[in-house]
């Protein structure tokens, strides 16, 4: 991402609301047609209805503008995939096939608000959701667009390399929630 960094937005100026069908989201534009279309067509409502992903809208309170959205679901990742990442480990005597977590299915900031810390606040917020969830979540994971990989790497997300994913146009990345205290700015408030 090029360009001058505009004023950062503090977490306290953001409000997070669950997606509802009667909310007008048609003006949202993050610059990516697929992510725009997910929110501005029936797709988002279908995901909600079918229990496949919960979408939350993030507003910049001073002007009541829709600044970002994200979609999360409870999913797990096969341990076999995580084994490719040296930093991930669980004691050998524990036998599990997969590791529970929160999948960030979609995350997008409107162009007007990009590079102003909103994505950062959202990642912290999602980590908070994962830690407070009634079901265990050890990791956050997502399929990143190649152009967003370095954004997630700033937060120590790591690429999961496995031959099964060789031909995908996205990059599977994960973050071990045990490493949350090491996050930049950890301890700052989330929206």
- Residue 32 or 75 having the CB closest to ligand COA: 32
Choose, by CB under 6 A, the member of 39, 77, 107, 139 that binds ligand COA: 107
d(CA 87, CA 44): 34
Q: In what order do the strands lie in the sheet with 65-78?
A: 14-18, 54-60, 65-78, 98-109, 139-144, 171-176, 158-159
116 in Cβ contact with 7 (< 8 Å)? yes
**Among 68, 72, 75, which residue's Cα sits nearest to residue 98?**
75
List the x/- string, 31-60, binding to ligand COA by CB under 6 A.
xx--x-------------------------
Element (H, E) at 47: helix 43-49
Least distance in angstroms from the C-beta of 8 to ligand COA: 8
User: Any contact of residue 160 with ligand COA (CB under 6 A)?
Assistant: no
- Residue 7 or 24 having the CB closest to ligand COA: 7
Stretch that binds ligand COA, among 11-19, 47-55, 126-134, 144-152 (CB under 6 A): 144-152
């Amino acid at each position: 991402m090029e360009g001058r960094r505009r004023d950062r937005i503090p977490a306290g100026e953001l409000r997070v609301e669950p997606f509802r069908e009667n909310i007008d989201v048609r003006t949202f534009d993050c610059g990516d047609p697929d992510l725009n279309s997910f929110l501005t067509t029936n797709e988002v409502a279908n995901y909600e209805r079918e229990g496949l992903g919960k979408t939350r809208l993030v507003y910049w309170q001073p002007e009541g503008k829709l600044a970002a959205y994200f979609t999360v679901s409870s999913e797990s990742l096969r341990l076999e995939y995580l084994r490719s990442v040296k930093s991930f480990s669980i004691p050998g005597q524990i036998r599990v096939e997969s590791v529970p977590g929160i999948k960030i299915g979609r995350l997008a900031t409107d162009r007007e608000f990009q590079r102003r810390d909103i994505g950062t606040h959202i990642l912290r917020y999602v980590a908070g959701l994962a830690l407070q969830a009634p079901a265990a979540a050890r990791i956050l994971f997502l399929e990143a667009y190649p152009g967003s990989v370095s954004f997630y790497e700033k937060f120590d997300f790591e690429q999961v390399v496995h031959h099964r994913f060789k031909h995908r146009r996205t990059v599977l990345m994960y973050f071990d929630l045990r490493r949350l205290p090491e996050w930049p700015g950890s301890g700052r408030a989330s929206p």
